[in-house]
């Protein structure tokens, strides 16, 4: 967390910085674990001051701010990072700030409670080297059934674990992998090489359905309350989760099974044993 829907929500929430000139970049005073900011903030400041924000985009789970200098500021929120255009949740975990000219937005903040995220200024060549194939797969909002099959139909990995591989598909994390597999009716422990053509089609459709729905609700704010949109407001997709963190409760889809929790690759997985059969019925 944040995953694709949360980062896409952040990107849409900061569109007001497009066309604004950067006046200053600051590593804010913070007594917590320092985050990676590269290059060093003095060089970072020199390189971005006076440039204009050309575009705000997303690559996988990262916010990308393209400048008219053809370089990009890449913000990777990781577990608890937030990109904001309003007062952060607290000053204690404020890590970085951009000062911008004009209105309606004249400041951009990066806030990170656990300090696992990073902010990098990259040349266009370095950006595409890091975030192009094979390092990053197709974006989850555009992935197709044939794309999934080409990448995974010979893999002996379980499908849930494979969906977390950003080289396969970019943007899906633990929460949305569970939700997608539930909508697709696929057991999370099903091996990729055993999936049928119709299941790949259902998986692609479910990927789009779940992620687009989550974006409409501006992402999921979980029980720790960390995730916020760019205006420091909670998302609401957590109120529509079908399986994630609902172990022991009735399945909202079939009303027969109870949601089960298992662990795969040290990550919690949630599914309905009635809706998501491990083996295909003959």
Supply the residues annotated as catalytic: 2-3, 61, 267
How many degrees, rounded to 5, is the angle at CA 42 between CA 19 and CA 50?
A: 25
Distance in Å from the first CA to the final CA of the chain: 38
* Contact by Cβ (8 Å): 193, 155: yes
**DSSP per position, the chain:** ---HHHHHHHHHHTGGGTTPBEEEEEE---SSPPPEEES-HHHHHHHHTT-BEEEEEEETTEEEEEETTSEEEEEE-TTTEEEESS--S-STTEEEEEEESSSS--EEEEEESS---EEEEEEHHHHHHHHSTTTS--BTTT--HHHHHHHHTT--SBHHHHHT-TTTSBS--HHHHHHHHHHHT--TT-BGGG--HHHHHHHHHHHHHHHHHHHHTT----TT-----TTS----GGGG-SSTT-TTSBPTTTSSSB-EEEEETTEEEEE-TTTS-SS---
Cα separation values, 167 from 65, 157, 171, 205, 237, Å:
22, 14, 10, 20, 26
* Contact by Cβ (8 Å): 176, 213: no
């Amino acid at each position: 967390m944040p995953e694709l829907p949360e980062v896409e929500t952040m990107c849409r929430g900061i569109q007001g910085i497009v066309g604004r000139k950067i006046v200053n970049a600051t590593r804010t005073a913070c007594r917590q674990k320092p985050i990676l900011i590269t290059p060093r903030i003095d060089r970072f400041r020199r390189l971005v001051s006076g440039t204009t924000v050309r575009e705000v985009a997303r690559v996988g789970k990262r916010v990308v701010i393209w400048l008219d200098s053809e370089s990009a500021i890449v913000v990777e929120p990781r577990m608890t990072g937030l990109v904001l255009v309003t007062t952060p949740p607290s000053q204690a975990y404020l890590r970085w700030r951009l000062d911008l000219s004009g209105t309606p937005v004249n400041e951009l903040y990066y806030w990170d409670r656990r300090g696992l995220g990073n902010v990098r200024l990259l040349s266009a060549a370095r950006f595409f080297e890091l975030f192009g194939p094979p390092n990053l797969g197709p974006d989850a909002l555009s992935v197709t059934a044939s794309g999934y099959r080409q990448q995974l139909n010979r893999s002996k990995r379980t499908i849930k674990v494979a969906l977390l591989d950003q080289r396969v598909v970019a943007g899906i994390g633990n929460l949305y992998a569970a939700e997608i597999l539930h909508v697709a009716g696929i057991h999370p422990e099903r091996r990729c090489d055993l999936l049928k053509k119709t299941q790949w089609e259902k998986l692609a459709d479910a990927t789009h359905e779940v992620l687009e729905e989550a974006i409409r609700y501006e992402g999921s704010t979980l029980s720790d309350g960390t995730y916020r949109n760019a205006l420091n407001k909670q998302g609401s997709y957590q109120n529509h989760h079908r399986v994630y963190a609902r172990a022991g409760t009735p399945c909202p889809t079939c009303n027969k099974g109870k949601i089960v929790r298992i662990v795969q690759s040290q990550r919690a997985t949630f599914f309905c044993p009635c809706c998501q059969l491990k083996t295909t019925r003959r």
